Structure 1
């Protein structure tokens, strides 16, 4: 084989590897990544079916893959559009993560909004979407697709605004929707003093990997819900740090966001 291997082939392999790697970086942290994993599993099953001559299974997987070729562009149209927009802007293909300046700006906008709502004792529920898509919850809500700003977040939760009763869902880039109604937690061990917003925050984190921040209108404190656990009375510096981790999306010493958030939770009472 080495007799037929040219130096151009080596360049071909390197370039294709870089392109595939960068494309994967674009979809990491999106619903499309779950699709890729599913396709890889189906591909492995199809290969095994051919090796062991499982004709019925091979026929079935072939039909399913044929349908997916049509269904995938329809179902994942928002993700594909976002990917093409990032490619068109340039640079995103080679550097997926937001710059520290952009992450800091977004985290400050949300943190200032939460601080103001807390000071005025205005109830609020902000959900930060991560890997698990939350379309089931914002499908019937008021879709915004708006830039993340302090003023918009405050106005949404302002008393008398028709949108203030539900949750706001953020997807790292923008405010997806407002007035979103979330499933309440099924945890029966919670104190009866835990309100509806906190129960909704716990509920969405039980069925997804989302992060939920709650501002209590009774006590004027900020609570964090993640992975079905609730931590109360967060300090402003802790809220800012959590938001910076979320919007930055950068690994610190190869730790996942969840690991770092859990470390912050453990320091709440220190």
Structure 2
């Protein structure tokens, strides 16, 4: 059979359909409907394998099961389908603004947690994982895989909590693990007044591209470690800008620190060595 000539309209048609499917999938992420789709894909894959292996009984059973599921889906998942239709009606299918709103929401959650810990002089160490995985660090820690929230972070660092001793590692909007023990910095020229949290923050940023935020319980200040450098005394606006850069994603990792370092000049003394926490 000869292959028909492809027109430019065909490529446009494929692109539009792929974009619509992609946006629809974004609407059902983290819902029961997403789990259902995963299950359907598994059943469909098993059905295809059974068909090619000529397993007639299994093929017959799966074909009937899939047919029944497609009829039952609109009944079982009315709330999810209604939500998708409402989002379409509001035009969210075509908006990129929701990504920005999500980043702002996550940044505010983490910012409020840091400010609360700072105000109550509760020590904390939060590592923001980026491109370099930190599995070798958190594999021996307490795995959480929980959604980021102010309440969760504050409770993790609350004095007396079994998990408060150690770092919390975040991967964008997910809290991966708590009570993580990080490698300490190998720098020999640091002041002896640098405590374990600051040395651990420097250490993890020397072996990865992660960001580390430290809340000092003695000085009541928030510090940033990145690329083996430490900045102390960040104010609320500086922390918010940093977190927005992180949660938005897509920033060039090499330029993020350089730009933020320039913003800190004049406001924060980089790598001051009189910290006792």
State the TM-score bracket (shorter-chain normalisation): 0.5 to 0.7
Q: Distance in 1 between matches of 2:260 and 2:197?
A: 21
Q: CA RMSD in A?
A: 3.4
Change in CA separation of 1:255 and 1:184 when aligned onto 2, cut-off 3 Å = closer
CA contact (8 A) 2:234 2:268 kept: no
Structure 1 unaligned segments of length 5 or more: list them: 24-88
Residues 1:146 and 2:146 are matched in the alignment = yes
* Residue number in structure 2 paired with 1:180: 180
Residues 1:215 and 2:218 are matched in the alignment = no
SS where residue 233 of structure 1 aligns? strand
Residue by residue over 1:34-65, the C-alpha shift from the partner in whole angstroms, topping out at 9 and shown as x without a partner, is xxxxxxxxxxxxxxxxxxxxxxxxxxxxxxxx
Q: Distance in 2 between matches of 1:97 and 1:211?
A: 25
* Residue number in structure 2 paired with 1:229: 229
Change in CA separation of 1:220 and 1:132 when aligned onto 2, cut-off 3 Å = same
Residue by residue over 1:116-172, the C-alpha shift from the partner in whole angstroms, topping out at 9 and shown as x without a partner, is 111111100000001101111110111111111111100100111011111000000
Q: Distance in 1 between matches of 2:133 and 2:139?
A: 11
Residue by residue over 1:230-258, the C-alpha shift from the partner in whole angstroms, topping out at 9 and shown as x without a partner, is 00111111111111111112559x99433
Change in CA separation of 1:94 and 1:156 when aligned onto 2, cut-off 3 Å = same
* Residue number in structure 2 paired with 1:168: 168
Change in CA separation of 1:98 and 1:260 when aligned onto 2, cut-off 3 Å = farther
* Residue number in structure 1 paired with 2:124: 124
Following TM superposition, by how much is the alpha carbon of 1:95 offset from its aligned partner in structure 2, in angstroms?
Answer: 8.5
Following TM superposition, by how much is the alpha carbon of 1:5 offset from its aligned partner in structure 2, in angstroms?
Answer: 9.5
Following TM superposition, by how much is the alpha carbon of 1:264 offset from its aligned partner in structure 2, in angstroms?
Answer: 3.0
Following TM superposition, by how much is the alpha carbon of 1:268 offset from its aligned partner in structure 2, in angstroms?
Answer: 3.0
SS where residue 212 of structure 2 aligns? strand
Change in CA separation of 1:95 and 1:183 when aligned onto 2, cut-off 3 Å = farther
Change in CA separation of 1:190 and 1:14 when aligned onto 2, cut-off 3 Å = farther
TM-score by length of 1: 0.64
Q: Distance in 2 between matches of 1:249 and 1:97?
A: 14
Following TM superposition, by how much is the alpha carbon of 1:262 offset from its aligned partner in structure 2, in angstroms?
Answer: 2.7
Residue by residue over 1:175-196, the C-alpha shift from the partner in whole angstroms, topping out at 9 and shown as x without a partner, is 1110011000000011000000
Give the ranges of 4+ consecutive aligned residues of structure 1 lying more than 6 Å apart after TM superposition: 93-98
* Residue number in structure 2 paired with 1:266: 265
Q: Distance in 2 between matches of 1:97 and 1:255?
A: 25
TM-score by length of 2: 0.63
* Residue number in structure 1 paired with 2:56: none
Change in CA separation of 1:95 and 1:263 when aligned onto 2, cut-off 3 Å = farther
Q: Distance in 2 between matches of 1:258 and 1:5?
A: 52
CA contact (8 A) 2:163 2:178 kept: yes
SS where residue 232 of structure 1 aligns? strand
Structure with larger Rg: 2
* Residue number in structure 1 paired with 2:112: 112
CA contact (8 A) 1:213 1:224 kept: yes
Q: Distance in 2 between matches of 1:14 and 1:262?
A: 45
Q: Distance in 2 between matches of 1:10 and 1:124?
A: 56
